[in-house]
Structure 1
């Protein structure tokens, strides 16, 4: 059973339009991911405007990416997998999501431990025991919490087919169930709080896919939706309230904004979307290397904060793409290239 689309939704027949929109939204989301990873809270004399910017970005950028993931999950029919087909699908998903999650977690922790005595390193663990424990306990403060999305997406891919059938193939019931999960006081163990907090947006993507929301070419409602989104984003919400309010509204407003953007902006978003996996996995390392190099060149002064942001943002966005390209040049590293694609 599919929910009826609201009156303003008029599905278009073009699947190509949907794939383009999904790619561009992934690109926008991943650019915001990098922008929020440049400087840790309360370090390097972080000014108030950047702290506010990061807090606001965190209210909608990962919800947007999870929304697109839920949309594509249902678009491909993965929610209908059962038995042998489901097991085969989950093996592929584990290879695609869990292998890079644990690989990046190990590499990141090892790099922080090895370099902490030589370079400026954010959130360096005290030792291997603390580093490995950070993967399971108090994950909100974990040095590898930047890759939680991969683990959460794998769990959602695992549970959604059975849950969807249990709810009589009703996507609105799935959304209601996810909304009930959201406020639960879940302990910060193995990213469990992220699982309950972000399934809402995955389920919202499922409902939107039944409306074919990303296939709509019209930008008629873009300006009112964006105005409402920006107005609510400016309000002093705490995270518990702001995440569903701003996150869900972003999922409605930002797709409608795409037709208003110029060709160059859309090409940049599509480029970042195509390379979103590489950027997501490697942006923190690229930012860390660029930041360490920047701070090693000269003594840091507060006036250098904006130049530091420009350097680290460029490195975080294009450094992973360069690494991916280099890995694709040799047959010996093609498997690494495949995980970044």
Structure 2
């Protein structure tokens, strides 16, 4: 099947935003920004929509995947979600333990057993995504029920204290929205990518974000309009970027989004530590450098990770052939 370059561009831009957000948070947690830097405003605006965007994208092809059979579906999700979650959580956790004196969020060996119910760092996304993939599989024959479950989960998640599970429950509505949109996303966006809609969408996004900022969390009922307009604006921007010179670099980032996601924290943190040890403390220089490092360094090792992933994926088939031969 031919890859959808538009979706690759969306994933690529979304991933760049994720890396930027974590690079900014790292500098903020290290007390490197001056008081005049609008960290809270930028951080809140970004987080209203960039992670919901990835859950929507994850839902686009769920039903076609479920239709291929539960065994094939589970095998695919195990290899693409569960294995990266545990492998890279342990690797990143190990690095954080070794670098405990230099990182903003040190870990200890006693934290590793909690991976089964409390993800570390950015890996909460993979954990939450697997939850909703399993829920979708359970309701494959009763697809409208997924919407009911997602809405109910959002309401329950909003009623309990902020935690990983509360966030995971709230992401379901965006995942379910992706299943409703389906693979025809680009065709749907094309209808709104012209005339004055992008301008109206931008104004609506800024207004809805401003109205909820300081009033409610970015993953809240009040912030849903900001998430919707932010996602729509990102999709429209990518519709046009996919027809420009930016399509190629963004599509590369989109195709390699998993390596970037699992490695970018280590790349960003490592670059920040290197710059600090070199005596560079200017956050306005460090922010773009750390962001670029968080994208390019994972891209540099992604071919190796792809080969390793392909080898792991081939193991079950190889075992099955040997058992059949016997």
Structure 2 length-normalised TM: 0.82
Partner of residue 4 from structure 2, selected from 8, 14, 19: 19
Could you give the per-residue CA deviations for residues 234-271 of structure 1, whole angstroms, max 9, x where no partner exists?
A: 33432223542222233333223333336122223212
- Deviation at 1:46? 2.8
Structure 1 equivalent of residue 93 of structure 2: 109
Return closer, same or farther for 1:334/1:254 CA change in 2, 3 Å cut-off: closer
Structure 1 equivalent of residue 287 of structure 2: 309
- Deviation at 1:291? 0.7
Structure 1 equivalent of residue 176 of structure 2: 203
Task: Give 3-state SS (helix, strand or coil) of 1:235's partner.
Answer: helix
Return closer, same or farther for 1:134/1:71 CA change in 2, 3 Å cut-off: same
Structure 1 equivalent of residue 233 of structure 2: 253
1:177 matched to 2:162? The reply is no
Task: Give 3-state SS (helix, strand or coil) of 2:245's partner.
Answer: helix
Residues matched between the structures, number: 298
Structure 1 equivalent of residue 49 of structure 2: 60
Return closer, same or farther for 1:244/1:136 CA change in 2, 3 Å cut-off: farther
- Deviation at 1:103? 0.9
1:320 matched to 2:298? The reply is yes
User: Which blocks of at least 5 consecutive residues in structure 2 are unaligned?
Assistant: 313-326
Q: CA RMSD in A?
A: 2.7
- Deviation at 1:121? 0.8
Partner of residue 160 from structure 1, selected from 136, 144, 147: 136
**Aligned residues of 2:208 and 2:223 also touching (Cα < 8 A):** no
- Deviation at 1:136? 5.2
- Deviation at 1:231? 2.4
1:226 matched to 2:202? The reply is yes
Structure 2 equivalent of residue 93 of structure 1: 77
Tell me the distance in 1 between the aligned counterparts of 2:59 and 2:99: 38
**Aligned residues of 1:225 and 1:253 also touching (Cα < 8 A):** yes
Partner of residue 16 from structure 2, selected from 22, 31, 43: 31
Structure 1 length-normalised TM: 0.78
Return closer, same or farther for 1:122/1:307 CA change in 2, 3 Å cut-off: same
Could you give the per-residue CA deviations for residues 74-94 of structure 1, whole angstroms, max 9, x where no partner exists?
A: 3xx12335xxx2023202211
Tell me the distance in 2 between the aligned counterparts of 1:312 and 1:135: 27
1:269 matched to 2:250? The reply is yes
Could you give the per-residue CA deviations for residues 309-332 of structure 1, whole angstroms, max 9, x where no partner exists?
A: 12111110111001123x27xxxx
